[in-house]
Amino acid sequence: MEITTPIENMKSLALALIVLIGNGIAAFAGVDLGLPSSGTPYDRYMTPVKSTLSTLGKNRPTMETVSALMKQGRSFRYHMDNPYVAALPSETARTRTGDCKDKALWLCDQLNDSSVRFVIGKTHPSAKMSHAWVLWNDGSRYWILDCTLNRAPIAADQLPANRYIPQFSYAKGTAYRHGISSANVAAVANSKTSPVASVAASSTRR
């Protein structure tokens, strides 16, 4: 019978933990899922987002359903009423209009999947305005759902690092901070003029 010391046991445990974490990172390579946060600089604008996400159920939509919803949301006329606060999904559905954050929140509501994320970030590093989209997992991989700019889901792990850069995201009951510096956070927190999660009119659409 082999006898191991407490130190050896701790080393084995640490190695197993590293392997487990490594496997988890590899499973979602290229997808920034962020870290849970007690809050974000955008919280004062997120009441409609939080209230909508809090009601989401355990629906698991098919890719066919998601693709159909993407096309429907893409057909909504682009219009920004409020540069900071998202319209409630019922209002977006009624008017069939909205900006990126309105459409993203409408899509979250339609999916009724409590695992979805409402994401605030940049479509590319030089973007002057923030953008909003949905991050959805079909059970095997993560997808970018942006029915403001696209008609179909985009595999998140196939995107280059300089596309769809998340800064903050919201899920049911949880907020996340993504790969941003403290300087970025301070700039957002102190901003009084930059619109929140709004897509620039000059953005390329597909």
Per-residue 3-state assignment (H helix, E strand, C coil) for the chain? CCCCCHHHHHHHHHHHHHHHHHHHHHHCCCCCCCEEECCCCCHHHCHHHHHHHHCCCECCCCHHHHHHHHHHHHHCEECCCCCCCCCCHHHHHHHCEECHHHHHHHHHHHHCECCCEEEEEECCCCCCCCEEEEEEECCCCEEEECCCCCCCCEEHHHCCCCCCEEEEEEECCEEEECCCCHHHHHHHHHCCCCCCCCCCCCCCCC
Q: What is the pLDDT of residue 195?
A: 61
**Is residue 132 a contact partner of residue 164, using CB atoms and an 8 Å limit?**
no
Is the pLDDT higher at 74 or at 31?
Answer: 74
Topology (CATH level 3) of domain 35-190: C8orf32 fold (3.10.620)
Q: Calculate the CA 107 to chain-centre distance.
A: 12
Residue 40 has pLDDT above 50, yes or no: yes
pLDDT for the residue 2: 32
pLDDT digit string (tens) for 150-182? 999 999 999 998 999 999 999 999 999 998 533
Mean pLDDT, residues 91-109: 98
Mean pLDDT of the region 143-156: 97
Among all chains, which residue has been given the structure tokens 């620039």?
200
- Residue range 101-130: mean pLDDT, rounded: 96
Q: What residues does each domain of the chain span? A: 35-190
pLDDT the model gives residue 29: 55
Say what the pLDDT of residue 36 is: 96
Which of 8-17, 60-69, 141-150 has the lowest average pLDDT? 8-17
Predicted pLDDT at 173: 94
200: its two tokens:
């620039």
Q: How far apart are CA 65 and CA 153, in angstroms?
A: 11
Average pLDDT, the chain: 81
Nearby residues of 91 by Cβ (< 8 Å), 6 or more positions away: 102
Share of the chain above pLDDT 70, in %: 73
**pLDDT of 15:** 41
